[in-house]
Amino acid sequence: MKENKRERGQETRNNLHLSLNEGEMSSIVAAAGGRYVGVMNEIPGKMELIVLFVSPQTRTTLALPSSRLNVEAVRAQLAESDAAFNHAGSK
């Protein structure tokens, strides 16, 4: 069966996370303003590698699947979490 561009793109992104080492993951998180904590190992067929990081503002531990790990996604996760904490604190 012929695969389309979207499937190839997804496959490339999925393979990319497999090639990142811990230093590279840490650099991505740091570039987005977070503090890298570590990873939860994948469970083949059930769960992919999860990257853990902390918001410096709230000290909340956050996570992203490794296939979605990029500076923009980490920034978005940090912003969403920080906003939720700021909103909860203002009540």
For the chain, list residues with pLDDT below 70.
Answer: 1-18, 88-91
- pTM for this structure? 0.75
Q: Which amino acid appears at position 19 of this protein?
A: S
37 φ/ψ angles, rounded to the nearest 5 degrees? -110, -45
- How high is the pLDDT of residue 89? 63
CA dihedral 20, 21, 26, 32 (to 10 degrees): -10
Query: Which is it for strands 35-40 and 61-65: parallel, antiparallel or unpaired?
Result: unpaired
Tell me the two tokens of residue 91. Answer: 């009540």
